[in-house]
Chains A and B, each alone.
Chain A
């Protein structure tokens, strides 16, 4: 019983590390495709002071990435498996639900589906 309790505590501690802010890249390095076009922090984070930086809103992403419709159309070949126009959420998701710039992105489809069979690793 005691071992079980210790294991339980360890799992809680480990998962806390995994999902806590420590999992973020502390240097706030951006992904290679954003580095390639010389993006600066202030290109995405509109707050004046770095201390006030928050999660980037979808509208800000779309100033470069055009529109949700455009992104959905570009992956239209995936038909009902199109993550940008899914049968569950349509075009309603926010970019940051799956895409992250300072940590590995998260494939929400893979929570329930074998998405790796038909989807590339998310950038």
Chain B
């Protein structure tokens, strides 16, 4: 009986600590504690997703940069990406990452399931801009398209407004304006 009670207690403790760990490492202030994230933070603060919008609604880093299709995928991606970032920072490789080049593969860092978690009505909403409706319909029925469409395919600068400028301010030699 004692063993069962002890097991339940350890189980509850593990769930609580796991929850706290996910929670504490899931907010923006944790992500920007790394030096190299400063330009991304500033560009985020310039964007509507930082709460700079009429409704004051704010998205955290993990809302966009982790998948939200299911809990296991969320936790697995968080562990893999977080582990890689931790190692990169520990060995100083984070300073060598070129974030402008990383923009070419932005579809690897932004998840549609994250966008659609908040923008739930965006695909059914009929805008007065018919082009917007047309492109969203193509997104929904994209089996016949040559190239796969993600939210970030069209919304290329979403989340971080004027990032190239912020990177240039951060390290002008590494991120010259003409490259």
Q: Does B177 contact A (CB under 8 A)?
A: yes
Given A63-B129, A118-B177, the answer on whether A36 and B168 have CB atoms closer than 8 Å is: no
Max chain B C-beta neighbours (<10 A), residue from A63, A117, A119: A63
Q: Which residues of B contact A37 (CB under 8 A)?
A: 135, 147, 149, 153-154
Q: Does A78 contact B (CB under 8 A)?
A: yes
Q: Does A80 contact B (CB under 8 A)?
A: no
Known: A73-B161, A77-B169. 14 other contacts (CB 8 A): A35-B147, A37-B135, A37-B149, A37-B153, A38-B147, A64-B131, A73-B162, A76-B165, A77-B168, A78-B177, A116-B178, A118-B178, A119-B177, A120-B178
The reply to whether B149 and A77 form a contact with Cβ atoms under 8 Å apart is no
The reply to whether A38 and B178 form a contact with Cβ atoms under 8 Å apart is no
Q: Does A102 contact B (CB under 8 A)?
A: no
The reply to whether A43 and B131 form a contact with Cβ atoms under 8 Å apart is yes
Q: Does A74 contact B (CB under 8 A)?
A: yes
Range, interface on chain B: 20 to 34
From B132, B147, B162, A76 is in contact (CB under 8 Å) with B162
The reply to whether A77 and B153 form a contact with Cβ atoms under 8 Å apart is no
A-binding residues in B (CB < 8 A): 129-132, 134-135, 138, 145-147, 149, 153-154, 157, 161-162, 164-166, 168-169, 177-179
For A, the interface residue count at a CB cutoff of 8 angstroms equals 18
